[in-house]
Chain A
């Protein structure tokens, strides 16, 4: 079946612009995660959605970052007023409620000039 998909695969933007990154989880997976992979920090948790519960936003690095998940499926991560330190690969993962295994998408590589 289809895996987790993310778009765009690459995004180049100018400092100060807003960007939106999209994630389509595996159908039926109720849990969705965003992570960031950068050279300096490795892989970091950003935010978690589970069904209709309030998201766990504890990993978001600043209030310029936000995310939403519409209809319990597609999720969008928004970064406002991008900074050069936001350059990273943003990974999305989903899992079912019955097990811990998270399935990762291919990521979106964000470059802020």
Chain B
């Protein structure tokens, strides 16, 4: 079945540091890939997406590139802020049918001033 593996947290960074959260996937066919973010006390929000190989999703300074050859979708940000502290989930939807999301376990990011 489909699965998503992302780096274990928690991750603690100083403000303005570079962020990478690794994500790899296993899926049938050609999945669409997503990063969701959950800020403290809030619901899950879509951060960015990519629907085909070599697509780059970007939002709020975050980027991730769909790499079919390495089945990866790593999340990056050049300079994190305290307000980026949250839990980040990598996810995929594969094929047709219910279009349900398959999530990774989540990575908690804490950014300190």
Binding site for B on A (CB under 8 A): 3-4, 31, 33, 35, 42-45, 48, 50, 56, 59, 91, 93, 95, 100-107
Assess A102 versus B49: contact at CB under 8 Å? Given A43-B106, A107-B43. no
How many inter-chain residue pairs (CB < 8 Å) link A and B?
Answer: 49
> Are the C-beta atoms of A31 and B99 separated by less than 8 Å?
yes
> Are the C-beta atoms of B43 and A43 separated by less than 8 Å?
no
A residues less than 8 Å from B51 (CB atoms): 100
> Are the C-beta atoms of B44 and A104 separated by less than 8 Å?
yes
Binding site for A on B (CB under 8 A): 32, 36, 42-46, 49, 51, 89, 91, 93, 97-106
Main SS of the interface on chain A? strand
> Are the C-beta atoms of A56 and B100 separated by less than 8 Å?
yes
Write the nearest CB–CB distance from A2 to chain B, whole angstroms.
13
A residues less than 8 Å from B102 (CB atoms): 45
Assess A33 versus B43: contact at CB under 8 Å? Given A42-B106, A100-B93. no
5 A-B pairs with CB atoms under 8 Å apart are: A42-B106, A43-B106, A45-B101, A102-B101, A104-B36
> Are the C-beta atoms of A42 and B103 separated by less than 8 Å?
yes
Nearest first, the 8 closest Cβ-Cβ pairs linking A and B are A43-B103, A48-B98, A104-B44, A42-B105, A45-B100, A56-B98, A106-B43, A104-B43
B residues less than 8 Å from A102 (CB atoms): 46, 101
> Are the C-beta atoms of B42 and A106 separated by less than 8 Å?
yes
Q: For the complex, give the distance between the alpha carbons of A12 and B106 in Å.
A: 25
